[in-house]
Amino acid sequence: MLNIRGIVNDDDALQEQIESVLAESNMQQFLVVSVPEKESKVLLTPYNQVSEGRYLDPNTRTEFAFDHLRRVASDVQDSESSEQEELRASLQKELDTYVEAHYPEGAATVFLHEGSLVSCIVSNKFSPNNYWNGSWRAVWSFNPETKQLNGSTKVKVHYFEDGNVQLDTQSDFAADVPDLPSDTVSVSQKVAKLIGKYEAEFQQGINDGYRQLADKTFKGLRRTLPVTRNKIDWEKIANYKLGGELVNAEQ
């Protein structure tokens, strides 16, 4: 982005043309934003976009303007709380504990969106000096009325030293959450526990896939024996070579 900004050398013209593209990208990537004067961080997502260029931070009950080109938040204003704020705040607390335990670079925000509690999780690790970058993004939607939990988890890893190797995978989940407790804390704990269970299964599936890749797929790319179906006796070949060199030396 800095390279493009330097080439154009006109922030007003660049912002006019690229603002919508950057906004879509930042929301898809769940960009983590610090809210001015609130000591709070919130994810930019489609679920907390109030209007064009303005977003909601449910944890501080404020909304703010965001400049996608300069990546700066401003114009913080108070916002009204929702009827389901108690349940949302309780689930936020449970997810904060979960993310802190499992995602060293992670962040999460729970939003109220169209009657559902939408939990967005992101964790990025960038190490371009070591030729790799990685991202984990997840969206979990829980509807207290239908008792349905739906989720989607995406992982993307890019390794580019002397080549270009990428992992780009996604898994979707759907489950009923029966026998919900009556208190909000117990409901939040149950939902957070299910999220942790499904994400652990997803990660284990990736690990198992890589083990199979090493044990079976890569081995299938080459013969275990040469065309003669006999193992090569490298020691005998070395002796033949040594004998030939001695004969040539005597001559």
Over the stretch 71-96, which tens digit does the pLDDT of each residue have? 899 999 999 888 899 999 999 999 99
Burial class (CB in 10 A: 0-12, 13-18, 19+), 223: exposed
Check pLDDT > 60 for residue 232. yes
Residues 6+ apart with CB under 8 A from 78: 61, 62
CB atoms within 10 A of CB 188: 24
Q: Which two tokens stand for residue 66?
A: 């965001």
pLDDT of residue 145: 92
Q: Which residue has the higher pLDDT, 70 or 228?
A: 70
**Is it the case that residue 130 has pLDDT exceeding 70?**
yes
Confidence at 70, pLDDT banded by 50, 70, 90: confident
- 8 A C-beta contact, residue 149 and residue 173: yes
Tell whether the model's pLDDT for residue 243 goes beyond 70. no
pLDDT at 190: 95
Q: How confident is the model at residue 221 (pLDDT cuts 50, 70, 90)?
A: low
Mean pLDDT of 103-107: 91
The pLDDT assigned to 213 comes to 73
Please indicate whether residue 91 or residue 39 has the higher confidence score (pLDDT). 91
Its pTM stands at: 0.80
Alpha helix (H) ranges present in the chain?
2-8, 11-28, 85-102, 184-212, 234-250
Distance CA 174, CA 251 (A): 80
Per residue in 156-212, pLDDT (tens digit) is 999 998 888 888 999 999 999 988 888 999 999 999 999 999 999 999 999 888 887
pLDDT for residue 230 is more than 80: no
What is the band of 248 on the pLDDT scale with cuts at 50, 70, 90?
Answer: low
CB contact at 8 A, 137 and 121: yes
Q: Given CA atoms 234, 239, 245, 247 in this order, what sign does their dihedral have?
A: negative
What are the φ/ψ torsions at residue 37 (nearest 5 degrees)?
65, 10
Find the distance separating the first CA and the last CA of the chain, reported in whole Å.
Answer: 70
Is pLDDT above 80 for 151?
yes
Residues 6+ apart with CB under 8 A from 111: 45, 47, 48, 56, 58, 88, 117, 118, 119, 120
> Residues for the chain: how many in total?
251
Token pair belonging to 102:
């499992």
Asked if residue 53 has pLDDT above 60, the reply is: yes
